[in-house]
Amino acid sequence: MNLDRRAALAGVGSAVFGALAGCSATATGPPSVDPHTGLDRDTASALDDERVLMVGDATSLPDLPRTVTDRDEATLVLATADAPTATLAAALRAGRPVAITGGDAPEALAALLGTVGDTHHYGIETIAAHPVETVVADPNGDTIDTYQFVREGGWDDPVLDPVGWALTGRLPEPDTFVPERRGGREYAPLGTATIAGRLPTGETYAAQTVGSRYVGNLVSQSLRVRTTVHAAATGGYAVADARRVADCANDAQLSRWFPNPHQQGGVEVSNYSSSVAERLDVTFAPASDRARGALTGSCGLTAEGTFAYDHRTRWSWERNGVFDSDGHYGGGVGRGTWHVHE
């Protein structure tokens, strides 16, 4: 994510938690939280100063304050899934973020990334069995940050709010323990892969995974991924937990993972990872009233012999009333794949 774009909407991009106004997660004392991620706000306004080139079926794209017809004048490309891949690839190579919307947006993003795979590193995490109709590819040097926005029905504008968040949003720092990096200089960045959503009832969630590859002196094909998992409540539904699973191929070797089970920052961490199953499996749950309103945890792994995994990234919220209780859920399962260009 480009830092100048973050600065464009400082009120949305702050990484500092707001205070939790409500304490109880009951029907009579709903949690209230403002985590300052921007996921619960009208982030479409972040596009007000962008010069947007529309590609594909422009009649099905939302109206914008500033549009251009020349790619060289554009600061952002907004396209439908049937837009010419070559046109979008040229924009990416020129350093312009590209947003794609429509029912086939994930497939169009995959095709676009494949076209620029000779010059860029990137990672992508898909979501299956849930609609993803807005995706973003944001180039940063020779890496690309990717975004998959699950269409849960919560955004006022299901296209412009997610795109605005991709340009300006930021997740809070983790509440949980994050170990000091080892061999950081021996790993080169591959970009980030983000999944985010907002439920119709207002709950928000996101998982942002940073990928890197081993470039040291040893003969090794090694992938390192670190994921920040965030959940925030609204109304009468408190955060119940967030779970992250990354299941590597059987012939891979899960050589390192974190964190160990612990409690920190009002968050309880459970770890069921297995080097035998080559699987990272971590759950974050609130252990304080503040964390029932919003929590952020971090987990990661280093795997030898693979640049792909199956993931299960799931969030849940609960409301415990006097006579009954129920819950809301977000996220899903999918595939994580990281590409290294030579």
DSSP 135: E
Give the pLDDT confidence of 5-27 residue by residue, as tens digits: 434 433 333 332 233 333 333 33
Q: What is the pLDDT of residues 113-129, one digit of tens each?
A: 999 999 999 999 999 98
Structure tokens at 209: 């995974």
In angstroms, the CA 80 to CA 101 distance is 5
Tell me the C-alpha distance between 161 and 171, whole Å: 16
CA–CA gap between residue 338 and residue 25 (Å, rounded): 39
pLDDT band at 322 (very low <50, low <70, confident <90, very high): low
Show Cβ contacts of residue 180 under 8 Å, excluding neighbours closer than 6 positions: none
Give pLDDT, residue 112.
98
In this structure, what token pair is assigned to residue 18?
């707001």
Looking at the DSSP bridge assignments, the partners of residue 267 are 264, 286
Residue 331's SS3 state is strand
What pTM, to 2 d.p., does this model score?
A: 0.89
Which structural domain range is residue 183 located in?
Answer: 3-339
In the chain, the number of structural domains is 1
